[in-house]
């Protein structure tokens, strides 16, 4: 059987990592027609000469392009997220991530019809870049909510969450292809988030719109977040930055529930991603940027999984008990934790890369990975069940802006733990 790879090496195997996209094959993979994709099988060549075969388990259209999730049917720990924009006429721009348990790869846009593929840090190392001391504030409700409840008769319908991704001008030179390259990267972030929803059994879907905002000047993850909002631990309060007003107005105009800031680089603190806070519980009555802003480094490998991880914080999820100690936030939601497998070989998205493999799902007591349940029920020792909280909080977040008019925020307190 002849294997036709999705990418064609520009030169004989000699250490080069630049490839040409097979536009005809890619066109057949995309869900661009009512009948869907014409093929689901594709092959990815790697820099070392190996080729892996993946099956498209899920594909979706984005605001400006497409996104694919490919898995190896006999080993679901081998998978890829791919974001695409453009077409075969003007040229495709593509970004992706490939996860192989022991080794990860980043597929970066290199202009129309071109990509580069190179090794990326394992997720264990990636998440541990900010694991020294977690300082994300947990905002707890002071309005006496005993437990987050369904918000209406349509609570079982999928929650549609509108996300506005904003970036400083510097990102257009940091990512090849400029706006098109950035769009491809954002599309792979969207598919990673939506696959996490699907794998966890959460009826929700995120839709990302991306735009440059000139008022944003900072290029590092933490500094970029500070331009909008940051929690000042010395004051035990949120501090709104110089870009707050512009971002808030644009968010309201676009009716975006969540704002994601895309940074070109890491800072000296080596944070790969950061959120304004962890709302427990998320509530449509507390929907200002204090509770709905995240910052992610868009340039480096694994940005898609980091995006889903940080989004989990905005839904009320905490890290594992090893990384974030008991006592943070609202004790009624302390079960919304990352789960680590019994043998320590893998963990869910909020487990903060403490294991060899991070799976594209949040903890849940009704889902399995490699035959093991991916969570522990609330009330049991080491409870870890993000799904039970997220299945409700996604509906609250979807009402921040896109499904309701802006509301005046109520009182919250930042719990420093």
Q: How many angstroms separate the CA atoms of 295 and 54, rounded?
A: 31
Q: Which of 155, 194, 217, 171 is nearest to 403 (CA)?
A: 155
pLDDT in tens, 77-110: 999 999 999 998 999 999 999 999 878 999 999 9
What's CA 218's distance to the chain center, in Å?
21
Residue 228 dihedral angles phi and psi, to the nearest 5°: -105, -60
Q: How many angstroms separate the CA atoms of 46 and 19, rounded?
A: 10
CATH architecture of 124-145+158-398: 3-Layer(aba) Sandwich (3.40)
C-alpha to C-alpha distances, 312 to 229, 235, 349, nearest whole angstrom? 18, 26, 8
pLDDT in tens, 150-182: 444 445 679 999 999 999 999 999 999 999 999
User: Is the torsion defined by CA of 154, 156, 157, 162 positive or negative?
Assistant: positive
Six-digit token string for 153: 């008769």
pLDDT of residue 22 exceeding 90: yes
Least confident of 21-35, 257-271, 397-411: 397-411
Which residues are registered as beta bridge partners of 105?
Answer: 98, 119
- Count Cβ atoms within 10 A of the Cβ of residue 133 and give its class: 0-12 exposed, 13-18 middle, 19 or more buried: exposed
Give the 3-state secondary structure percentages of the chain, helix then strand then coil, rounded to 5.
Answer: 25, 30, 45
Helix count and strand count (H, E) for the chain: 8, 23
Name the band, by pLDDT with cuts 50, 70 and 90, for residue 73.
Answer: confident
Q: Where are the domains of the chain?
A: 7-120, 124-145+158-398
CB–CB of 356/345 below 8 Å?
yes
pLDDT for position 133: 42
Q: What is the pTM of this model?
A: 0.91
pLDDT of residue 250 exceeding 80: yes
């Amino acid at each position: 059987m002849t294997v036709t790879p999705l990418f064609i090496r520009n030169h004989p195997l000699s250490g080069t990592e630049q490839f040409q996209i097979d536009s005809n094959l890619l066109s057949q993979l995309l869900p661009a027609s009512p009948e869907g994709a014409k093929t689901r099988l594709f092959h990815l060549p790697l820099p070392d000469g190996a080729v892996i075969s993946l099956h498209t388990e899920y594909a979706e259209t984005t605001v400006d392009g497409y996104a694919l999730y490919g898995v190896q049917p006999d080993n679901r720990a081998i998978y890829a997220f791919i974001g695409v924009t453009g077409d075969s006429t003007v040229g495709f721009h593509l970004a992706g991530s490939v996860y192989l348990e022991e080794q990860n790869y980043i597929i970066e846009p290199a202009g129309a019809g071109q990509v580069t593929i190179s090794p990326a840090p394992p997720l264990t190392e990636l998440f541990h870049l900010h694991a020294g001391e977690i300082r994300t504030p947990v905002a707890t409700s002071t309005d006496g909510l005993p437990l987050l409840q369904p918000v209406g008769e349509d609570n079982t319908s999928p929650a549609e969450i509108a996300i506005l991704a904003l970036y400083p001008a510097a990102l257009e030179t940091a990512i090849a292809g400029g706006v098109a390259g950035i769009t491809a990267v954002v599309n792979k972030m969207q598919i990673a988030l939506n696959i996490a929803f699907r794998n966890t059994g959460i009826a929700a879907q995120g839709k990302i719109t991306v735009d440059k905002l000139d008022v944003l000047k900072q290029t590092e993850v933490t500094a970029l977040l500070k331009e909008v909002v940051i929690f000042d631990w010395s004051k035990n309060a949120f501090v709104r930055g110089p870009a707050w007003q512009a971002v808030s107005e644009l968010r309201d105009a676009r009716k975006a529930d969540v704002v994601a800031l895309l940074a070109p680089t890491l800072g000296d603190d080596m944070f790969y991603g950061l959120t304004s806070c962890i709302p427990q519980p998320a509530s449509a009555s507390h929907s200002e940027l204090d509770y709905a802003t995240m910052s992610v480094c868009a340039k480096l490998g694994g940005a898609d999984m980091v995006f889903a991880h940080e989004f989990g914080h905005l839904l009320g999820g905490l890290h594992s008990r090893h990384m974030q100690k008991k006592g943070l936030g609202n004790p009624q939601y302390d079960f919304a934790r990352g789960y680590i497998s019994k043998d320590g070989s893998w963990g869910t998205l909020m487990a903060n890369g403490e294991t060899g493999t991070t799976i594209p799902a949040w903890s849940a007591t009704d889902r399995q990975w490699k035959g093991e349940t991916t969570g522990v029920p609330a009330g049991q020792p080491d409870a870890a069940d993000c799904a039970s909280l997220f299945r409700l909080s996604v509906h609250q977040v979807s009402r921040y802006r896109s499904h309701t008019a802006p509301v005046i925020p109520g009182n919250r307190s930042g719990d420093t733990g």
